[in-house]
Amino acid sequence: MIITDKNRLKHYHNTGEWGEKRLHDLFYATANRFPDRIALVDPPDKPNLTGDVAQRLTYNELAVKVNQLSDVFLLNGLGKDDIILVQMPNIVELIVTYLAASRLGIIISPVPVQYQENELSSILDILQPAAVIVSPNFKQTSLLERMKSSIKLSSLETHPPKIFAWGKGEADGDLCAAMEQSSPSSCYADYCRHSVISADDLMTICWTSGTEGTPKGVPRSHNQWLAIGKATYLGNQIQDNETLLNPFPLINMASIGGMFLSWLYSGGKLVLHHPLNLPVFLQQIVSEKVNYTLAPPALLNALLKDEKLKNAIDFSSIRAIGSGSAPLDVWMVEGYKNLFGIEIVNHFGSNEGVSLLCGPNETDSAEKRARLFPIKSELLETRLVDSDSGEQISEMNKSGELQIKGAGVFDGYHKAPEKTAESFTADGFFKTGDLFQISADDPQFYTFIGRCKDLIIRGGMNIAPAELDNLLSAHESILDVAVAPYPCDIMGERIAAFVTLKPEKQLTLANLTDYLKQRHVASFKLPEKLILVAEIPRNPLGKVLRYKLSALS
């Protein structure tokens, strides 16, 4: 299924930014050259997550499984342009599913394991998938039963999709058993004679993080993934045959674009992890000799603040760590470089195609690395536009919405023409909804200010919550923090600070505001409530769900 406009197709093929390779082509190229190289490693706690034995596969072993699953799909009538909804944790079987889908031109739509009937039934209604694939169980939850319930709540109850499970269970097909029973056949060769899989065909329909509560489908082709994957692969300086540890769910940009594509480009070893289990994560870094991984800022900060853990960590194999979803702290970037020799690469991305990175390629300055993103990019055209006037911003320290255009940018939301029309300009730029400024410290860089819709408007003054999150995260008593608005009849909105304290620490609102005053924060930005919480609500990518915090105030 190709949804990209013909003029856009012609342009990016002519520039060479799009080509003929599909995702699975990169995989088979490595498998053919290095069949005995370790390709994929399950999380060691897989038995606790799904009840299955952890696997460790060479490229040849993985290729055999991909070929087997391809035949199973074909025998069950699944092929080009069919959509499959997938709900699985980060396990080997998920990678097998991605590669088999790529090989057959099947469109895969992955969703977080945290999604329940409310989210799943809505997505089922939108997708109308031909099949659903699940891990039967995840921890103490039956994903299979949850999916069955979701189908009954959706419009698909009378014509339900086939349900396949990676394991024994009451489903239309046990994929493990079907693959074990399969034998080499001519299914795929016969299929290829009448089905042409283009690099411009859709590969995935992922879902936005849903900070506004309503997820939107984001379709992406092979070429769009390969273009944006190249940005993260080059920006993180991934080397051939490196070991990558992926702790983010394989459902959207951070893990697919940032890790899965980097793995395909590098031909190395992909070590799987998720949900985050810190002891297991640290153990994997050592046992697998990990060279590159991702970690949210809150975790990186917490590790540096914990003296016992910091001194016990073995990061000797790690070359770099990517981090994002929230502003980074300068002291954290400096700390990892000085203590461990690790480069922290600042990531700012979205499913739609934002891909800003600031790492060693861009600057050696920790100050810039933590706060800024380069304006110029070979892979992405950007501009700032005044939200009120619509005029492009060229002066420094004036906030504007980031708009983007490039080979890695998506074409529009799935089955949402009105939302798509609202989200693109007449000349083809995607309106990200992110506020940036041209930096006064260095006009070759942008400074992230916050989300347009995340702005707290207090008495007519605009306040970016991310700025306060960043400042407060360095407080010695704070383990995690986020600010959010609460309603006020007089001021419209006021600011509440939601704080998770470090063990045996105390904090008052006066302590908090004094801390900000010492950092010369404007008085209208000072929180007027302090609410202690056990944890900050975040989506699967670590982004703060401020609407949930506001509901607590």
Q: CATH number of the domain at 179, please.
A: 3.40.50.980
Question: Do residues 348 and 373 lie in contact, with contact meaning Cβ atoms separated by under 8 Å?
Answer: yes
Calculate the alpha carbon distances from 94 to 37, 79, 85, 195 in Å.
Answer: 20, 18, 12, 24
Asked if the structure places residue 207 within a domain, the reply is no
**Looking at the 3D structure of the chain, how many domains does it have?**
3
Buried b (16+ CB within 10 A) or exposed e, 433-467: bbbbbbbeebeebbbbbbbbebbbebeeeebbbbb
Residues 467, 446 share a domain = no
Of 392, 420, 451, which residue sits at a domain end?
Answer: 451
CA atoms of 408 and 233, how far apart (whole Å)? 13
Tens-place pLDDT, residues 400-430: 999 999 999 999 999 999 999 999 999 999 9
What is the reported pTM? 0.84
Asked if the structure places residue 6 within a domain, the reply is no
Residues 411, 432 share a domain = yes
Residues 391, 267 share a domain = yes
Residues 285, 430 share a domain = yes
Contacts of 227 (CB under 8 A, 6+ apart): 12, 17, 18, 379, 406, 407, 408
Of 451, 470, 499, which residue sits at a domain end?
Answer: 451
Amino acid 131 reads A
Residues 406, 305 share a domain = yes
pLDDT score of 487: 87
Of 428, 451, 474, which residue sits at a domain end?
Answer: 451
Mean pLDDT score of the chain: 91
For every one of its 553 residues, what pLDDT tens digit does the chain have, with 9 covering 90 and above?
999 999 999 999 999 999 999 999 999 999 999 999 999 999 999 999 999 999 999 999 999 999 999 999 999 999 999 999 999 999 999 999 999 999 999 999 999 888 888 789 989 999 999 999 999 999 988 999 999 999 999 999 888 999 999 986 555 688 988 898 877 777 898 899 899 999 999 999 999 854 444 678 999 999 999 999 999 999 999 999 999 999 999 998 989 999 999 999 999 999 999 888 999 999 999 999 999 999 988 789 889 988 888 888 899 999 999 998 777 889 999 999 999 999 999 999 889 999 999 999 999 999 999 989 999 988 899 999 987 788 999 999 888 999 999 999 999 999 999 999 999 999 999 999 888 999 998 999 999 887 777 778 787 666 878 889 988 998 999 999 999 999 886 777 899 999 999 999 999 999 999 999 898 777 878 999 999 999 999 877 678 888 889 889 8
Question: Do residues 295 and 258 lie in contact, with contact meaning Cβ atoms separated by under 8 Å?
Answer: no
Asked if the structure places residue 403 within a domain, the reply is yes
Residues 383, 271 share a domain = yes
Calculate the alpha carbon distances from 28 to 38, 63, 264, 331, 350 in Å.
Answer: 14, 7, 9, 42, 28
Q: Look up residue 35 and give its DSSP letter.
A: T
Asked if the structure places residue 18 within a domain, the reply is no
Question: Do residues 473 and 481 lie in contact, with contact meaning Cβ atoms separated by under 8 Å?
Answer: yes
Residues 508, 444 share a domain = no
Report the CATH number at residue 500: 3.30.300.30
| φ, ψ (nearest 5 deg) of residue 319 | -95, -40
CA atoms of 485 and 492, how far apart (whole Å)? 9
Report the CATH number at residue 341: 3.40.50.12780
Calculate the alpha carbon distances from 486 to 456, 462, 524 in Å.
Answer: 9, 14, 14
Residues 76, 30 share a domain = yes
Q: What is the CA radius of gyration of the chain?
A: 23
Asked if the structure places residue 8 within a domain, the reply is no
Asked if the structure places residue 238 within a domain, the reply is no
Determine if the peptide bond prior to 275 is cis (ω within 30°): yes
Residues 163, 27 share a domain = yes
Tens-place pLDDT, residues 140-159: 889 999 999 999 999 998 88
Q: Which two tokens stand for residue 457?
A: 């408007």
- Which residue's entry shows tokens 């921890």? 139
Asked if the structure places residue 121 within a domain, the reply is yes
pLDDT score of 493: 86
Residues 463, 426 share a domain = no
Residues 440, 373 share a domain = yes
Amino acid 328 reads L
pLDDT score of 112: 87
Asked if the structure places residue 243 within a domain, the reply is no
Calculate the alpha carbon distances from 206 to 50, 290, 412 in Å.
Answer: 23, 27, 12
Q: Which domain holds residue 540?
A: 456-552
Handedness of CA 274, 108, 208, 111 (dihedral sign): negative
Residues 147, 171 share a domain = yes
